[in-house]
Homo-oligomer: A and B are copies of this chain.
Amino acid sequence: MTQVHREQHAEGERTPFDEIERSLMQISWLAQRQFMQLLDDERFRLTVPQFYTLLHLEPLTEACKMSDLAEATHQSAASLTGVVDRLDEKQLIERVRDAKDRRQVMVAVTTYGRELVAEIKQARREQMQMALAHLAETEIEALMVLLDRVLSGMARTLERAEGGRLA
């Protein structure tokens, strides 16, 4: 039933570009839904923005300024405060005032936060394996390369579109 659209409508031919566009749109939607379901699991109880904020902190060895975090995760500072509040309540991150510049608040993931991210990634991995189970190994590798290139392009357009909006 996900292919319903394929059927008809020949007012203007479908180009490969249209197909990619549609695929990306549907992937975006399905991925989001699927991931929301996962994050909503009783083990995690996270929202999507909360997770991606946490995900950005997770690999860092040092704490991260709020403003940098906002920029990196493409959220406004005011919005981020709320998100970080909720992560803080759950003890997934820690807020520390910077000693040098006491205006700044440095955010760092806690051990528990790291563990949770690992758990989520593992759960996600299992979902993903099911989704990619029917791809050959060479296809996986090709996909990896292509996605990387798409990603870099998307990041660029996003940054361009933001011009000052979140500043």
A residues engaging B (CB < 8 A)?
Answer: 1-2, 4-5, 7-9, 16-17, 19-21, 23-35, 37, 48, 52, 55-56, 59-61, 68, 71-72, 74, 121, 124-125, 127-135, 137, 139-144, 146-158, 160-162, 165
Contact = CB atoms under 8 A, between A and B. Distances in A.
Contacts of A16: 140-141, 144
A143 B132 contact: no
Contact of A146 (B17, B135, B152, B155): B135
Contact of A151 (B5, B23, B74, B124): B23
B30 A74 contact: yes
Nearest to A124: B21
- Dominant SS at the A interface? helix
Contacts of A161: 34, 37, 127
Contacts of A148: 19, 23
Contact of A125 (B21, B131, B133): B21
A7 to B, nearest CB: 8
A72 B21 contact: no
A141 B16 CA distance: 7
Nearest to A162: B37
B25 A55 contact: yes
Give the most central of A8, A52, A72: most B CB within 10 Å.
Answer: A52
